[in-house]
Amino acid sequence: MSAPRAVGREVERVDGVEKVTGAARYTADLKFPRLLHVAVVRSPHPHARVLGVRTERAARAAGVRAVASGRDFPLHTGIYLKDQTVFATDRVRFVGDPVAAVAAETPEEAAAGAALVEVDYEPLRPIFDVEEGIADGAPLVHPDLGRYEVVPWIQPKAGTNVCNHLKIRKGDYEGALRRSSRVFENVFRVPQVQHVPLEPHVSVARVDLAGKVEVHTSAQSPFTVRHLLCACFGLSHGDVRVHVPYVGGGFGGKAGINLEPIAVALAKRCPGRWVRVMVDRHEEFFATVVRQGLTATLVTGVDRHGKVQAQKMHYLWNCGAYGGYGVNIVRAAGYTCGGAYEFPNVWGDSIGVYTNRPVGSAYRGFGMQEIHWALEQQMDFVACELGIDPVEFRLLNALGAGKATVTGQVLDEDAGRVDLCIRKVAAEVGMDPARQRRPYSGKGIACAVKAPAMPNDAASSVVMKFAEDATLEVLISGIDYGQGLMTVAAQFAAEALDVPVETVRVRGCPDTDLSPYDWQTVASRQTWATGNAILRAAEEIRRQLLATAAEALGVPPGELALARGTVAHAASGRSIPLARLVMGYQFPDGHAIGGPVSASASYLPEGLLFLDPETSQSAKPVAKWTFGAQAVEVSVDRETGQVTVEKVSACYDVGHVINPGLIRGQTYGGIVQGLGTGTMEELIVDTTTGRAVNASLMDYKIPSFEDVPAVLTAEFVETPQRDGPMGARGIGEHTMIPTPAAIANALFDACGVRIHDLPITAEKVWRALREKERGERERAGAAGVPAAAPAASGAIA
């Protein structure tokens, strides 16, 4: 057998055997023969006009096979708002914005070719702050905003930097505020953070000689990738095929579309050749997508009994340079702005603002951790000022059956019990107001709620079929990137058809040419949506099996049942193994009935209604709610400000626990991810240059095993969801939502300082402690009494 062909000729002889080495080893991959490698030319400016792009020298460079720029592909893409260019045309909008790309035989040749691309820029004034972005006279990041394509339920404001604005108007907020006995106002901030998937973004594409596009990509949503590529390049869906293999982490960052348009653009210039685009770890931090930042201003008016009567939320979302996906986070945050509480009078504004920071997009929680960071601290602050126990204050104001959300949706009995979650976690960490306290040790609580943020017609479908030996094959297009979808899908199918789970094979790694349709693997919707589709398909499988067995046994189908891999007739004791039915049943005389047993089914959320465009009131704007709570215990080092999270207790109303091991793993993983965004993660952008200054795992810290709390507990309430598969509802994202706020509330309980801006770093806590002690000394001096020793709690820094 001859040695693999290496286009880059990087071959060395090791122990007498020729081996492909270096970058050229990728060309030996039989899946992508003659693979071309891409280097992207990215903007060094946060905001600038593009006056000219010259690619002639790059095109003549050794090994270069194609060069593309905005002149060649003046196209836009975006799932909800088509505002992002494939390659910059008139201007660049963040450091890292693609301007051109070079495809070559090796990565080194691609990089050398990219270095020869010449770009003329005219720097423009950049915007990094949302308050500056919405100010009168601010430079426009998108002067053509009014001409972009947008879905009907997203509301950009032409001539401004506002890419979406959702208003929530419920009751008489102004009147209720005037009647309130106490009013409280606070501002909270959340920075941009990175998803840090183990596998960076990578896409491979080819355009064959007939013009068909084929893409292999690390993504969460193969059918959405196909749809957006078709919309971008003006292609038929029948001429684009997308494969998604196992994905090495997503957390929302691989939802929608990312590198795929660049790969397709270059593939179109090199027909018949595979083209690969990938980012390295450094680029992953700023050149793909990040979680949006948030500035939240909250005003709360309460009556003399401690019931919230007026609530105002003003959210300014830092969407970065493009808002194609992020605009829906703005929307979801708006209609969920009341959190887990019943607020009778609400004035809310959720506003997405363009800046010249990295692109904001989906991140686990889809805006919910950010708004709960503000709301749950606000609730704690109000309770403290009123002298009410924070647990009791939450229970007094909690949502429940018969109560209305901020959009006016009255919750049914199956909506979930946040009150039970609150009680369980409070008891688990011992949040008794009369408990004995230890200096610089505190306990805090925070609630959480999330609904699936998706279009009203977001569907999931499955195909189920048998092999000859009655092995059941379940074809799905949801992506299992660690949450356990394939395991849960097997459980649903096995239980519905009463077959051993080990005889079920779930086929993932979807291919849009062959796999059943699924909207996206986002919104914590797969267990619920795909699970429902599986149960519907199983019902059709059951009907076919019983019909064939009834004819074979000569009994009515209603007298038969599926039982342990057979169709059984209890009255006579007879049964037929499924292996004799799934390909059709043959009688002793040779004639046969039935045929291969298979079924397809889909699930679409039912009864959803649009929000009113002026008030966001709607009887049913979302498919379901999942409620939960977390309580934490922390200790604080007074000398260094270091906060150690000792214990986290979580409880969620999940409707029905399908797999105890998976759901606990999801809960613990979410807690640790929430610990990261709560105490250490922040993408820092230099506001002079627009560059991310900590774009490496050396400088951007995420939790390690040493950071995991000593004690983690997880409990679950089971209030069955009426339209959930076996009563279940989603939980994948919810488990990280309340963690930062619960830590902040425990910190205040421990030492009397409140951190308003994430993350809760040791430096911030140390400075707040010193400021608190200085204030205590000044007050003591003014009163003419000696300053007391540092207290463990009691003031706000």
CA distance 593 to 204: 46
Cis peptide before 759 (omega within 30 of 0): yes
Task: Find all residues with CB under 8 Å of 76, minimum gap 6, and list them.
Answer: 82, 83, 84, 85, 86, 148, 149, 232
Q: Is 597 exposed, middle or buried (0-12, 13-18, 19+ CB in 10 A)?
A: buried
Catalytic residue among 260, 376, 681, 733: 733
Dihedral sign of CA atoms 753, 754, 755, 760 in order: positive
Residues facing 38 on adjacent strands: 103
CA distance 559 to 600: 25
3-class state of residue 593 by DSSP: strand
What's the angle, vertex CA 575, arms to CA 571 and CA 577, rounded to 5? 160
CA distance 656 to 721: 8
Read off the tokens for 180.
Answer: 């309130």
Buried b (16+ CB within 10 A) or exposed e, 336-364: bbbbbbbbbbbbbbbbbbbbbbbbbbbbb
Q: Is 610 exposed, middle or buried (0-12, 13-18, 19+ CB in 10 A)?
A: exposed
Count CB atoms within 10 A of the CB of residue 427.
15
Q: How many residues does the chain have?
A: 797
Of all helices (H) and strands (E), which one includes residue 530? helix 526-553
HEC string for 72-98: CCCCEECCCECCEECCCCCEECCCCCE
Read off the tokens for 536.
Answer: 């519907």
Residues facing 463 on adjacent strands: 475, 600
What's the angle, vertex CA 447, arms to CA 187 and CA 291, rounded to 5? 60
CA distance 651 to 632: 12
CA distance 533 to 522: 16
Buried b (16+ CB within 10 A) or exposed e, 26-53: bbbeeebeebbbbbbbbbbbbbbebeeb
CA distance 460 to 109: 43
What's the angle, vertex CA 66, arms to CA 61 and CA 68, rounded to 5? 110
Q: Assess contact for 643 and 679: CB atoms under 8 A.
A: yes
Count CB atoms within 10 A of the CB of residue 19.
15
**Ranges assigned E (strand) in 496-610:** 504-507, 560-563, 566-569, 574-577, 585-586, 592-593, 598-603
Closest among 273, 347, 343, 342 to 110, alpha carbons compared: 273
Closest among 500, 343, 322, 481 to 406, alpha carbons compared: 343
Question: Is 614 tagged catalytic?
Answer: no
Closest among 274, 295, 358 to 322, alpha carbons compared: 358
Catalytic residue IDs? 733
